[in-house]
Chains A and B, each alone.
Chain A
Amino acid sequence: MTLKTLLAGTGIALALATGAFAQDQTKVGFVYVGPVGDGGWTYEHDQARQAVEAHFGDAVETVFVESVPEGPDAERVMTQMALQGADLIFTTSFGYMDATINVAERFPDVKFEHATGYKTAENVSAYNARFYEGRAIQGHIAGQMTESNIIGYIGSYPIPEVIQGINSAFLHAREVNPDVEFRIIWAYTWFDPAKEAEAASVLIEQGADVILQHTDSTAPQAAAQAAGNVVTFGQASDMAEFGPFPRVSSIIDDWAPYYIERTQAVIDGTWESSNVWHGIPEGMVAIGEITDAVPAEVKASAEAMIEAIRAGEYHPFTGPINYQDGSVWLEDGEVADDETLLGMNFYIEGLTGEIPQ
């Protein structure tokens, strides 16, 4: 009995202490779908969390829970963070969308930020990255690096984000090399090193000398390295350890600027619900160093393209672009609207094969 009261007493005292503490500190929660050690998606979100801590110092406290399955567990973790006084919660997987909306309804004073979804509410923002901008750069470099004119592409699942990437990369590879062909493999996984390695070797065997990947492990890099003459690009994280060759550049998910901006908004009391899709201009998509394995003029033109995108002068999906069957999607000079891109479920002209359903 005494032990029980004692324990309960300390529990309340502790809770009060943290509660009092939370008054002057802004508490930011992060819900991760994978382990922070996955070296890819979750790893990059956690890097951004650390950047938030570094930026704000003692003014902000961050908490996170990793490997949270989508569904009731995610909802519980979010609720728990909100109960413990979080002011802002980032939920970093598409599958958390409904859970985020549910929890947000119950905690109107807590702000939520959901990654890669499309639902928003009074206190729920959605944010996503225009990865296809980075894919355009990749396609631009890849089209000029390939000698066999075959580029291999490892897709994860046939969802709009991945299809945008394929189209964007293909468009810009064709632009610089009209003979280029894409071979696409759907791995049906985001992370399975053994399968990714197999997919990469299959593509290499079929003559691909550039491998683009939309899965998160470094296995394709290793397969390319073993093959010796195959070019790769880092995905999600920089994968610089495979540079300067085979990895000649990379797309990095850099969530830090956005996380810092949104945390600042909560501190200032200026946070408002929004639905943003940031890319190279805002720094959410970063292009990793283009190594010297890329010829200087290719590197220069790639950098020029990055600058044009950053300055808002160039949109990777600018017409004329046709659908796969040859009918017109975008007229000359026409720019794709975000709604079509977000729901993209078609290949553009020149790509062969079908998107699996």
Chain B
Amino acid sequence: MKPAPFRYADPRSLEEALDVLAADPGAKVLAGGQSLLPLLAMRLAAPATLVDVNRVPGLDAVEVTGDGVRVGALVRHAQLLRHDAAARVQPLLARATANVAHPAIRNRGTTVGSIAHADPSGEMTSVLALTGGSVTVTTAAGRETVGWQDLFVGPLETSLSGGAVVVDAFFPALPERSGTAFAEIARRKGDYAVCGAGVVVTLDADRRVSAVRASYISVGLVPEVHDLTEAVAGKPVDSADWAAAGALARTLVDPDSDIHASADYRRLLVGVLTERTLADAAREAAERTAA
């Protein structure tokens, strides 16, 4: 249970980090390390060089504007969880972060690192998708924005090149007259979810359902956003049939079986969690919509 030998670099600027990455195709970026270090300990990964970005200045800020929340690469889950201004603009951030592992892991693990790790059982990959978010990627060639649809390729795999550093993630603000909810089922609180769901419900000015979107955890190979609007479109918020939306969701997902749960059980949980979270999100959307 010891990592294989590696070279270690702790650059003091982004430029220096990019130089070290460019010099070694086998280099890997280390931020919070709460996913990477277990992989090293179990020797599922053995990068030649670790580029520890923890001492790079300027990556630890949460910036909140009316448009959304920009989360720097070194922002810990715990920091985002207690960021009230971020939660007001996009409530899914705190709701999902509260489900990320245990407090001791959240104190060290980073939200952006979790996204770059691209684990389909990660909460924040799903939230990036559900909110229509993006990441800012820096390479030797410059800086670019990569939308969530172009980021996730497969389990633990992104479209980014080895020489890239993700410097922040941007989560757009919750639209008007909308509510959110997030819930997951795990064997033990804080463990990887057997299944999780994040939802956004949007109403029109007459408090009728105009849009319903959902994204699931530990379901599928990459984060996906499912549009469930047709099951409840135009229904008054107080009488919409959320079970119908749950039933629709079950037909849209394609979960896998593993030692923790069968595909059928996961599909069942998708229905249950969808119905449950939509009822909560709808209540919140109604509160945010003037009668």
Bind each other: no
Residues of A near any B CB (own CB < 8 A): none
